[in-house]
Structure 1
Amino acid sequence: MKVSKENAEHYVWGANCDGWRLVQQPGLSVIHEKMPGNTSEVRHYHEQSRQFFFILSGTATMEVNGEAILLNAHEGIEIAPTVPHQMFNHSAEDTEFLVISEPASRGDRVIL
Structure 2
Amino acid sequence: MKPIDRTCAEHYVWGGVCDGWHLVKRDDMSIIAERVPAGAREARHFHAAARQFFFILSGCAVIEINGERISLMEGQGLEIAPGMPHQFMNESPEDVHFLVVSHPSTKGDRINA
TM-score under structure 1 length normalisation: 0.98
| Counterpart residue number, 1:35 | 36
Equivalent residues of 1:29, 1:102 under 8 A apart? yes
RMSD: 0.6
Equivalent residues of 1:34, 1:94 under 8 A apart? yes
- Counterpart check, 1:90 vs 2:91: yes
Give 1:3 shift.
0.5
Q: How many residues align?
A: 112
Instruction: Provide the rounded CA distance (Å) in 1 between the counterparts of 2:12 and 2:87.
Output: 19
Instruction: Provide the rounded CA distance (Å) in 2 between the counterparts of 1:52 and 1:19.
Output: 15
1:18 is matched by which residue type in structure 2? D
- Work out the percentage of aligned pairs sharing the same amino acid: 51
User: CA offsets, 1:8-47, max 9 Å, x none?
Assistant: 0000001400000000011010000000000101000000
Q: How does 1:7-86 map to 2 (within 5 A)?
A: 7-86=8-87
Give 1:62 shift.
0.3
Instruction: Provide the rounded CA distance (Å) in 2 between the counterparts of 1:106 and 1:91.
Output: 29
Ranges in structure 1 where 5+ consecutive residues have no aligned partner = none
Equivalent residues of 1:15, 1:39 under 8 A apart? no
1:69 is matched by which residue type in structure 2? I
Spell out structure 1 runs of 4+ moving beyond 3 A: none
